[in-house]
Chain A
């Protein structure tokens, strides 16, 4: 906690100084000569608007701020640009891995994704429809660093910001590099996305009935949203359990989600309780606890017992709860209008 606070103080102190330093992103290739114009747009062959405008001010605060345009758009060699392939995130993008001279790339993550259930070649995949499987940009955008100056307001024994910078400058040159790494680290410390955003991202594909039918699955998003976990997200509970919390093994990458039939999966039935028993969730979960189905599927043919229980409760709700509620509301209305009567008053 102390470390977190310390780093948060540093971020806060660097926030103002970084903003000006980073806004001046080097554009040695002069791409912004054209791409600074918001009107640089066209409609593609499918009728969708593509915007080629890049907001350099916003880009300067994103996690890719140190990457040159051609670091990702490697096909661009000349003006006018030729037809380009989609960006491949496993490309080595001209920046170095921290602490080494090796070029950086997301290759490792792409390799991990290839071994996951989100790869059509995975043996557990039921329908190998390549275009239905996600690429990096289906789930990821270019996020800005998550500064939250509010985090440091409660820290008492914080160094003065100038002392913080001074300490960094002892070893590092007073350039934007160490500020960049601080931003990077503190960005990673935080939960990257609120629960509802995680669910929304997965729902892009997993809430679609036709996709579920093609891949012989249930509508994972809808059946999740019917559970307590899903309801917690819907009601805006902070840190409510999302798809990632259950489908990603503790300490593993979110890119390595496996089928529930794979023994290595976080949702493999015999081991599922281990996922539930996280200290922040259900600390003493037993193996039986893990057998509770966390996607509520009401289907008479697959789960007849659950179906009839649900039917019984629904009948009870409609037949007893709502009439009772109605009576109580009528009672309160009577309290409001005690003298009201539909009968004609008798003349004395």
Chain B
């Protein structure tokens, strides 16, 4: 007796597939309804694996941190604002700089030591490359300043500066007069990449020597560009050539106006004598 070949119609296929899907879903529902009663730990969705970055931070905060657990952490995600301090719920996503070589080690929130001014310095670091202040050039009028896009690196001579730099995707970067890079040239990029890949296996002396090479182009901290170099009542003497980098007259005047300059002076009086001169060895070396 030979077997008869049975033909399967499209209707039957659909019914069967639908039936299988329903069965699997039933199994899933029963698993949720019945099996969860046996958990010892919190549900998976409340465990660490299912936590959002914000929730994880919150739980860490509640749990407390070790003395050396966080302070001075070299790289802090600028979008990881802590929930406990997020009463105002800014809801903004900061644009992270993926182009700058300094940021690749120091992060988008690089200033962490000088308590009095670190927030202000970080605020400036949001729209100014580290090189702008940490490589002080002799004559800014012969230096070329460009605005680079933080995610693509695309350079522009001018951007819209008619209003303040809120969520700007651009950062100000000084270049040599011929457009050459002052810091992150190919050679330095290669050197830093090698350093980062080997740093965990390096002897302290070798690490220290490499760090010196990496930071050699930087101006000594006590001579770096400080607030009053730019926010000076005498606009002609300002370190940054505001007009040249695209600031309209009105905005440039605001930056050197009484409000801003007055505040800088207040800081100066309050933290006399060295508030803008980071003490030797206190800045992060990371």
- Which A positions have Cβ atoms within 8 angstroms of B? 30, 33-34, 36-55, 58-59, 78-80, 87, 137-138, 140-142, 203-205, 207-211, 219, 221-222, 225-226, 231, 234, 296, 298, 310, 313-314, 317, 321-322, 325, 328-329, 332-333, 335-339, 348
Question: A40 → chain B, closest Cβ, in Å?
Answer: 4
Whether the pair A296, B37 counts as a contact (CB closer than 8 A) is yes
Whether the pair A37, B165 counts as a contact (CB closer than 8 A) is yes
Whether the pair A49, B61 counts as a contact (CB closer than 8 A) is no
- Which B positions have Cβ atoms within 8 angstroms of A? 2-3, 5-6, 8, 12-13, 15-17, 19-20, 23-24, 26-27, 30, 32-39, 41-43, 46, 57-59, 61-63, 65, 69-73, 76-78, 80-82, 84-92, 94, 109, 111-112, 116, 118-120, 122-127, 164-167, 259-260, 263, 266-267, 270-271
Whether the pair B30, A51 counts as a contact (CB closer than 8 A) is no
Which chain B residue has the least Cβ–Cβ distance from A298? B37
Q: A49-B80, A54-B90, A329-B24 are in contact. List 10 more A-B contacts (CB 8 A).
A: A45-B71, A47-B76, A51-B85, A59-B88, A87-B87, A231-B32, A296-B37, A321-B30, A325-B26, A339-B5
Whether the pair A51, B90 counts as a contact (CB closer than 8 A) is yes
Question: A322 → chain B, closest Cβ, in Å?
Answer: 7
Contacts of A348 in B (CB 8 A): 2
Whether the pair B88, A54 counts as a contact (CB closer than 8 A) is yes
Query: Within the assembled complex, what's the spacing in Å between the Cα atoms of A90 and B264?
Result: 34
Partner pick for B34 among A50, A314, A325, A339, CB 8 A cutoff: A314
Whether the pair A141, B111 counts as a contact (CB closer than 8 A) is no
Whether the pair A79, B119 counts as a contact (CB closer than 8 A) is no
Partner pick for A80 among B77, B124, B126, B266, CB 8 A cutoff: B266
Query: Within the assembled complex, what's the spacing in Å between the Cα atoms of A36 and B89?
Result: 14
Which chain A residue has the least Cβ–Cβ distance from B36? A226
Contacts of B71 in A (CB 8 A): 43, 45-47
Whether the pair A41, B122 counts as a contact (CB closer than 8 A) is yes
Whether the pair A39, B127 counts as a contact (CB closer than 8 A) is yes
Whether the pair B89, A49 counts as a contact (CB closer than 8 A) is no
Contacts of A53 in B (CB 8 A): 90, 92
Which chain B residue has the least Cβ–Cβ distance from A204? B58
Whether the pair A39, B124 counts as a contact (CB closer than 8 A) is yes
Whether the pair A55, B90 counts as a contact (CB closer than 8 A) is yes
Query: Within the assembled complex, what's the spacing in Å between the Cα atoms of A234 and B31?
Result: 14
Query: Within the assembled complex, what's the spacing in Å between the Cα atoms of A37 and B124?
Result: 9
Whether the pair B23, A298 counts as a contact (CB closer than 8 A) is no
Partner pick for A333 among B20, B85, B259, B266, CB 8 A cutoff: B20
Query: Within the assembled complex, what's the spacing in Å between the Cα atoms of A38 and B124?
Result: 10
Whether the pair B90, A39 counts as a contact (CB closer than 8 A) is no
Whether the pair A79, B65 counts as a contact (CB closer than 8 A) is no
Query: Within the assembled complex, what's the spacing in Å between the Cα atoms of A142 and B87?
Result: 6
Contacts of A338 in B (CB 8 A): 6, 8
Contacts of B32 in A (CB 8 A): 231, 234
Contacts of B109 in A (CB 8 A): 41-43, 49
Which chain B residue has the least Cβ–Cβ distance from A51? B81
Whether the pair A40, B122 counts as a contact (CB closer than 8 A) is yes
Contacts of A298 in B (CB 8 A): 37-38
Query: Within the assembled complex, what's the spacing in Å between the Cα atoms of A332 and B85?
Result: 55
Centre residue among A37, A234, A321 by max chain B CB count within 10 A: A37
Show 28 A/B contacts (Cβ-Cβ < 8 Å), sorted by A.
Answer: A38-B94, A43-B70, A43-B76, A43-B109, A47-B65, A51-B86, A51-B90, A79-B267, A80-B116, A87-B87, A137-B84, A140-B87, A142-B87, A142-B88, A221-B42, A222-B42, A222-B46, A226-B37, A314-B35, A314-B38, A317-B34, A322-B30, A325-B27, A332-B16, A332-B23, A335-B12, A336-B13, A339-B5
Question: A50 → chain B, closest Cβ, in Å?
Answer: 5
Contacts of B65 in A (CB 8 A): 46-47
Known contacts A41-B122, A42-B109, A48-B70; is-contact A58 B90 (Cβ 8 Å): yes
Query: Within the assembled complex, what's the spacing in Å between the Cα atoms of A40 and B124?
Result: 8
Contacts of B34 in A (CB 8 A): 313-314, 317
Contacts of A45 in B (CB 8 A): 70-71
Question: B156 → chain A, closest Cβ, in Å?
Answer: 20
Query: Within the assembled complex, what's the spacing in Å between the Cα atoms of A222 and B5?
Result: 54
Known contacts A47-B65, A205-B62; is-contact A310 B37 (Cβ 8 Å): yes
Contacts of B126 in A (CB 8 A): 37-39
Query: Within the assembled complex, what's the spacing in Å between the Cα atoms of A154 and B8?
Result: 50
Partner pick for A332 among B20, B59, B116, B271, CB 8 A cutoff: B20
Query: Within the assembled complex, what's the spacing in Å between the Cα atoms of A219 and B77?
Result: 32
Contacts of B92 in A (CB 8 A): 38, 53, 55
Which chain A residue has the least Cβ–Cβ distance from B165? A37
Query: Within the assembled complex, what's the spacing in Å between the Cα atoms of A226 and B39?
Result: 10
Contacts of B259 in A (CB 8 A): 30, 33
Contacts of B12 in A (CB 8 A): 335-336
Contacts of A222 in B (CB 8 A): 39, 42-43, 46
Centre residue among B3, B5, B61, B119 by max chain A CB count within 10 A: B119
Contacts of A219 in B (CB 8 A): 42
Contacts of B80 in A (CB 8 A): 48-49
Which chain B residue has the least Cβ–Cβ distance from A306? B37
Contacts of B37 in A (CB 8 A): 226, 296, 298, 310, 314
Question: B15 → chain A, closest Cβ, in Å?
Answer: 8
Which chain B residue has the least Cβ–Cβ distance from A52? B119
Centre residue among A49, A50, A80, A335 by max chain B CB count within 10 A: A49
